[in-house]
Amino acid sequence: MRLVLLGALLTLSAGASAERLIVDNGRLFIQATIGGVNTEALLDSGAEATLIDPRLAALAKLPEGQPISLKGSGGEAPARIVPDVKVEALGVTFTPEALVVLDMTDLSTRLIKRPTQAIVGRELFDAARLRIDINGGTIDHADPAAAPPGQRLALTAHAGIESVPVMVNGTSAQAEFDIGNGSGVLVSRAMAKKLGLKVTGQQSGGGVGGETRRDTVMLDRLQVAGAIFRDVRAAIDDLPNANDLNIGTSILRNFLITTDFKQRAVWLEPVGSVSQPKTGAERG
């Protein structure tokens, strides 16, 4: 889920723990403790900051904080930032300089489709090497000294979100590595024009800031870490700072994922129907 908070500085410290991963409607959820209050949280590598709903902030007895305007894929929304709130998840403890308090009622009902009062963002990915098995419903710390399985993909930062190299219709591109995106593949308007893609329809979209209508196109061939996906429906992202593509859980669930943001890499090992990366496994 694209979410940008400008000027956030983080202080992190890591521990170690394993936890069950809850998968619901393409979204990933973990248990977290925020300001001393236990809660379920959406896991989102595309969010630059941890967010909580005002109801959770009230339970944690947090101060009012400083008003800000938060940029999201659906526009802007009023929010406030509260400093020095301890967050714990997967045995990792961090205290972001700017925890964001945002009314998440619309996000929960319209987009996430699960009662949600917290989103744990990339601070967790910055703090630890993680092993994520979406289909298996597990998330754990990966041994930093061991070679992860799968193909190594270098991370490249773009507008605050990490991206990985992919091939789309035979053209090299960068795709945002967005575990918070449970709605499907996104392609920028510029990339759609470059590939000569024809609009096939529309679908609703948008995250923070409200709902939007997006044109849809078909990608003949999307190659990620050696695995090939054919006839992929994608929605056009009209944000001016959108990367070439955004791949969320609809694609990433086909891999065993190891993330190491500190080492600027992720490893993707195809599983199930995409288990032949050398020759290119295909999904219809």
pLDDT at 280 over 80: no
pLDDT at 278 over 70: no
SS (H, E, C) the chain: CCEECCCCCEEEECCCCEEECEEECCEEEEEEEECCEEEEEEECCCECCCEECHHHHHHCCCCCCEEEEEEECCEEEEEEEECCCCEEECCEEEEECCEEECCCHHHHHHHHCCCCCEEECCHHHHHCCEEEECCCCEEEECCCCCCCCCEEEECEEECCEEEEEEEECCEEEEEEECCCCCCCEEEEHHHHHHHCCCCCEEEEECCCCCCEEEEEEEEEEEEECCEEEEEEEEEEECCCCCCCEEECHHHHCCEEEEEECCCCEEEEEECHHHCCCCCCCEEC
Which span out of 104-113, 229-238, 266-275 was modeled with the highest average pLDDT?
229-238
Q: What is the pTM of this model?
A: 0.87
| pLDDT number for residue 212 | 77
Q: Residue 15: which pLDDT band, with cuts at 50, 70 and 90?
A: very low
The two three-digit tokens of residue 282, written as one number:
């295909």
pLDDT digits (tens, 9 = 90+) for 32-57: 999 999 999 999 999 988 999 999 99
pLDDT at 154 over 80: yes
| pLDDT number for residue 275 | 41
Mean pLDDT of the chain: 88
| pLDDT number for residue 179 | 96
| pLDDT number for residue 211 | 67
Q: Residue 8: which pLDDT band, with cuts at 50, 70 and 90?
A: very low
| Percent of the chain at pLDDT exceeding 90 | 75
Q: Mean pLDDT, to the nearest integer, of 241-253?
A: 96
CA distance linking residue 276 with residue 177, whole number of Å: 21
Report all structural domains of the chain as residue ranges with CATH numbers, in order of start.
Answer: 3-129 (2.40.70.10), 151-283 (2.40.70.10)
